[in-house]
Amino acid sequence: MQGILKGLRVIEGSAFVAAPSCGMALAQMGADVIRFDMIGGGLDYRRWPVDENNQSMFWAGVNKGKRSIAVDFRKPEGREIITRLIAHPGDEAGIFLTNFPARGWLSDENLRKHREDLIYFNLTGDRHGSSAVDYTVNCEMGFPYTTGEDQQPINHVLPTWDVITGQMIVTGVLAAERHRRLTGEGQFVELALKDVALATLGNLGYIGEVMVNGHDRPNCGNNIYGAFGRDFMTADGERVMLSGITLGQWKTICKACEIQPQVDALAASLGLDLNREGDRYRARESLNEIVAGWFEQHDFAQAKQKLDDGGVCWGKYRSVSELISHDPDCSTDNPLFQMLEQPGIGSYLAAGHPLNFGALPREEVVSAPLLGAHTDEILTECLGMSSAEIGQLHDRKIVAGIEG
């Protein structure tokens, strides 16, 4: 790969979403990311979705572009191999990324003995080091209670906090690497999943809202809070989302849906200025009714035409299958995607990194490795081991290559 981070080498010991997706992002920008796992696979090796052979498409998804080494790191010799990889010399090596507990042989103190300027990135569940996962953090942040129409809590499906955290780890690694390049100094960088959620909550105004206004945000169903926007059903039963957050967006809706006279009458009767987003939110029930009336008289094709012609900001509700079968953005028409042969699973669309760096051509999308696919190559290249030494390690079940 010839990416913008070419040359960097990162050792990753991880499972699940956040840490692996950071490693993947780095790999998709050209870094050499070596993920180590226990022989037989780590905690996320069978994470759903899986295919009929119990091969995980999740695992294949978040490990694209990495190299894989399978090592029994319960054994001292396995730990020594990992330690040597982490502490490998070179300006651009010496970066370790993990969500494993930073203790024992993986303590910062221990690893730093082997390389003083190590960049050690450790992800934890909460700041006390307790375990927490996306789903146990999300319910604590208030979101399930404000999702949907009523007070029944509704969990999110996308592991949002994990995904955000994964991206924030990339920031941490790049900022620490910059610091080391400028000062020569390595460091231990920590991030807690729960802190990511708490900070985001604060950044978006949720904490201030309660502390200043003195009450929780009420449920508002599918409405966009504090502005105009909701889902509407067309005459033929399709559903679209409209966004009228900005005044410009709102005006395009009024024009495309030919509702300006009704909207003006409503504003007069309610004494609201519907050019203000807050007033649009206050008048949402009446506005929704007006807009819904327009959609009831248009089937999807007609509505789409008028919305597009009018420059309205809108989207269509659809399933993942519909997305794949109908949207050219989710196809190889979009340079983001390639059809990829994922060893062990089959051929399907896979995405590269969404960032487009003008100075460099786009990276090829590279599949996830089979577990242990690069064991021998890594032992040879990085640790300079001979075939005989490597053979011994296999015989003693300290390392493994591809299974079966």
14 binds its own copies (CB under 8 A): no
> Active site residue: 162, 264, 309, 329, which one?
162
Among 9, 67, 284, 316, which residue sits at the site for its own copies (rule: CB under 8 A)? Answer: 316
Among 260, 292, 357, 381, which residue sits at the site for its own copies (rule: CB under 8 A)? Answer: 357
Q: Which of residues 276-295 bind its own copies (CB under 8 A)?
A: 276-278, 281
257 phi and psi, to 5 degrees? -90, 5
3-state secondary structure of 325: helix
Q: Which of residues 114-133 bind its own copies (CB under 8 A)?
A: 125-127, 131-133
380 binds its own copies (CB under 8 A): no
Q: Which residues contact 105 (CB under 8 A, 6 or more apart)?
A: 73, 79, 83
Query: At closest approach, how far in Å is the CB of 344 from its own copies?
Result: 11
Residue 319: count other Cβ atoms within 10 Å of its Cβ. Answer: 8
323 binds its own copies (CB under 8 A): yes
174 binds its own copies (CB under 8 A): yes
The residue among 143 and 376 lying less far from its own copies, judged by its C-beta, is 143
Site map 41..60 versus its own copies, x via CB under 8 A: --x--xxxxxxx-x-xxx-x
CA pair distance 233, 218, nearest whole angstrom: 24
157 binds its own copies (CB under 8 A): yes
CB-CB contact of 303 with 297 (8 Å):
no
Q: Which of residues 218-247 bind its own copies (CB under 8 A)?
A: 221-222, 224-227, 229, 231, 239-243, 245-246
CA pair distance 103, 114, nearest whole angstrom: 15
* Angle, in degrees to the nearest 10, between helices 300-309 and 247-256: 130
Select the span of 72-80, 96-104, 267-275, 322-330 touching its own copies (CB under 8 A).
Answer: 322-330
CA pair distance 400, 294, nearest whole angstrom: 64
179 binds its own copies (CB under 8 A): yes
The CA dihedral of 88, 92, 94, 99, to the nearest 10 degrees, is -130
81 binds its own copies (CB under 8 A): no
CA pair distance 166, 154, nearest whole angstrom: 24
Burial of 62 per CB tally in 10 Å (0-12, 13-18, 19+): buried
CA pair distance 86, 70, nearest whole angstrom: 15
Pick from 177, 164, 57, 62: nearest CA to 121: 177
Site map 185..214 versus its own copies, x via CB under 8 A: xxxxxxxx-xxx-xxxxxxxxxxxxxxxx-
Among 1, 266, 349, 402, which residue sits at the site for its own copies (rule: CB under 8 A)? Answer: 349
| Residue 333 is a catalytic residue | no
Among 41, 153, 310, 343, which residue sits at the site for its own copies (rule: CB under 8 A)? Answer: 153
The residue among 62 and 399 lying less far from its own copies, judged by its C-beta, is 62
The residue among 261 and 319 lying less far from its own copies, judged by its C-beta, is 319
The catalytic residues are 162
